[in-house]
A and B are shown apart, each in its own frame.
Chain A
Amino acid sequence: MTAVLVLASRAGSGAASLGMDFCRRAGAEADLVWAGGDALPAGAWRRAWRTGALTGAQAADILGQTVSGARYDLVLLDEGDGGREAGARVAVRLDLPVIAQVVAIRADQTGVRITRSIEGGARTAVIAPGRPTALAVVSASVGGTDGNATARESAVLETAPCTTLLEIVSEYRPLPAELELDQADVVVAGGRGVGGREGFAQLEELAGLLGGTVGASRVAVDAGWIPYRRQVGLTGKTVAPRLYLAFGISGAPHHVLGMRNSSLIVAVNSDPQAPIFRLAHVSIVGRVEEVVPQLIGELRRRKDARTLVAAR
């Protein structure tokens, strides 16, 4: 029987969903190393080991010990959250094949077949691992699934303290307004559909709640609603944040060129035929002036709830 090991640290883990999906179809069983809090990712896990938050090097230590102590056919990790570092380090230590940007996994009579994205996502390649155990680093484009989670065995793993040769000299946290577009993890961008300066004030509030900054399309900059240094696109800045929220932006080619490499693109536009919906990972047909206040309210409510829990 095929055995799978998954290392995951967030609820929307693509590695957990791909691993569980593979197990369901191949009749395999999966163990989980979970560094993401109370609720396990969806699936029927054979064993679940809980750990605290892990750095890439710590995750590599844990994976290295777990993989060398048992026989796994497949080890799955997420691309973010130190997964790339852990995958590369374990592959070197144990001389295992490591395949990155994995988007699908299947099994047939001759073994496991792994599909990875190549050429910047323009094509995929099907790969047959040549060793009994293979490491797969799952692409950030693979999303998680919802559902119940169960584990037949559960345990807590103690992690060794992180040792590093690096000394942190200083740390600086800029305010949202100071944050440059190309350095932000979250960009909340607005276009013609935002309607004016008042709309951008709301986007700034939203960006503050998400720890990001505000961007704009050329139309909004030309209208004088926001300064030029906030323009995203061919004649502005090129950005690749973890989250790009596009409000009231149609998706003209000169804008898309500046943000198409963002990890997660959420587009809100009242025109269902807007070209940005062809690029977006999440598309919402709606009026900006209605969706933005709702989202601000929802995020504020969650933030207050978290603050309350933390205070208790």
Chain B
Amino acid sequence: MSIIVLLRAVSERELAGGIRGSSHRLDAPSEDAIALGLSLRSCTPAPMQGVAIGPPEWDVPLRDAVSLGVDQVERMWGPSVVAGDIVAHAKLLACKVSADARAVIAGGGATDHGSGLIPFALAELLGWPVIERTIGAGIEGEDLVVRALAGGGRRTTYRMPAQAVLVAASGRVLPYPTVARKLAARRAAVPVVTPPAAHAAEPAFTFEGFGPARPVTRHLLRPSTATGAGGRLRHLMAGGASQSPARGSMEADAGVAAQLADLLDKEGLLD
């Protein structure tokens, strides 16, 4: 019996040139997954195995995962690995899930530029159920019992006789590793598995170029009727913020509340 944890590292510019020897660190969803894995492992003696698909720079953060409690880690990398190909990544990961695995645990984003699709693709390949926003997992008798968040802060408890893919809820806090664990983890081996040619599928897509981030604004409230042309332009350029508070009848305008309520309704945030 084992617990598989999907891990991912991200680049952190501030870490470059530090004593760790790597500018990469584990991302927050991976830490969430490790925390959930630790809570499951406290109920069963199963070892926790970390799996990642990533470049050699990820070795240092994977050792960090060992210091946090993962028993062993493995990294998959090779010329046949296509960055961002979710289906190909899920197929690679499915090969690493042994028949005796009790659960595969992932964070909100897993190994694929953080899109969060891998757990579902993996569940489809394995024929396992998937539970999102998991906050706790344990074993009762032979069954896996999982607590998960539902909408509006509701908590649902599931019981299942077989295995499952669990997506950890964000915001879990990991205990800080002891110095002894950190020192031991520095010497931990990170075996690298090169995917066999059989998995080297034709790329499903190609990256053609990269660009700057998109602006975050996605809703523009109508500017106040008292605002002039210049104010309206500033309102648009500021992403909906009125820049003329002195005559901003927007703040006193009951229409703002109606617009905001419409927007929340559109976003599916009103029951």
Residue numbers of A with Cβ under 8 A of B are 9-12, 14, 56, 60, 80-81, 84-85, 87-89, 91-93, 95-101, 103-104, 113-131, 134, 137, 141-144, 164-174, 179-180, 182-186, 210-213, 237-240, 242-243, 261, 264, 266, 270-272, 277, 279-287, 290-291, 294-295, 297-299, 302-303
Knowing A84-B117, A100-B113 touch, does A298 contact B241 (C-beta < 8 A)? no
Knowing A101-B115, A118-B113, A170-B156 touch, does A164 contact B206 (C-beta < 8 A)? no
Interchain CB contact under 8 A, B260 and A100: no
Complex CA distance for A113 and B210, rounded to whole angstroms: 12
Given contacts A165-B129, A179-B153, 10 further A-B contacts (CB under 8 A): A98-B121, A99-B205, A118-B210, A130-B202, A167-B159, A183-B153, A239-B171, A240-B170, A285-B248, A286-B248
Interchain CB contact under 8 A, B250 and A165: no
Complex CA distance for A307 and B263, rounded to whole angstroms: 20
Interchain CB contact under 8 A, A12 and B268: yes
Residues from chain A with Cβ under 8 Å of B252 in the complex:
286, 290
Interchain CB contact under 8 A, B154 and A282: no
Q: Is B73 an interface residue (CB 8 A)?
A: no
Interchain CB contact under 8 A, B129 and A164: yes
Q: Is B217 an interface residue (CB 8 A)?
A: yes
Interchain CB contact under 8 A, B155 and A117: no
Interchain CB contact under 8 A, A89 and B131: no
Residues from chain B with Cβ under 8 Å of A126 in the complex:
207-211
Taking a contact as CB atoms closer than 8 A, the residue among A84, A118, A295 that contacts B116 in the complex is A84
Complex CA distance for A126 and B266, rounded to whole angstroms: 28
Residues from chain A with Cβ under 8 Å of B30 in the complex:
none
Residues from chain A with Cβ under 8 Å of B112 in the complex:
100
Complex CA distance for A89 and B242, rounded to whole angstroms: 44
| Chain B interface residue bracket vs A | 35 or more
Min CB gap B233→A, angstroms: 14
Interchain CB contact under 8 A, B268 and A130: no
Residues from chain A with Cβ under 8 Å of B195 in the complex:
none
Complex CA distance for A124 and B150, rounded to whole angstroms: 31
Residues from chain A with Cβ under 8 Å of B84 in the complex:
99, 118, 125, 127
Pull 10 A–B residue pairs with CB atoms less than 8 Å apart, ordered by A: A10-B268, A87-B120, A100-B112, A113-B208, A125-B207, A243-B269, A266-B260, A272-B238, A284-B251, A290-B251
Knowing A113-B208, A126-B211 touch, does A137 contact B115 (C-beta < 8 A)? yes
Residues from chain B with Cβ under 8 Å of A303 in the complex:
270
Interchain CB contact under 8 A, A283 and B87: no
Complex CA distance for A261 and B170, rounded to whole angstroms: 11
Taking a contact as CB atoms closer than 8 A, the residue among A91, A99, A242, A299 that contacts B121 in the complex is A91
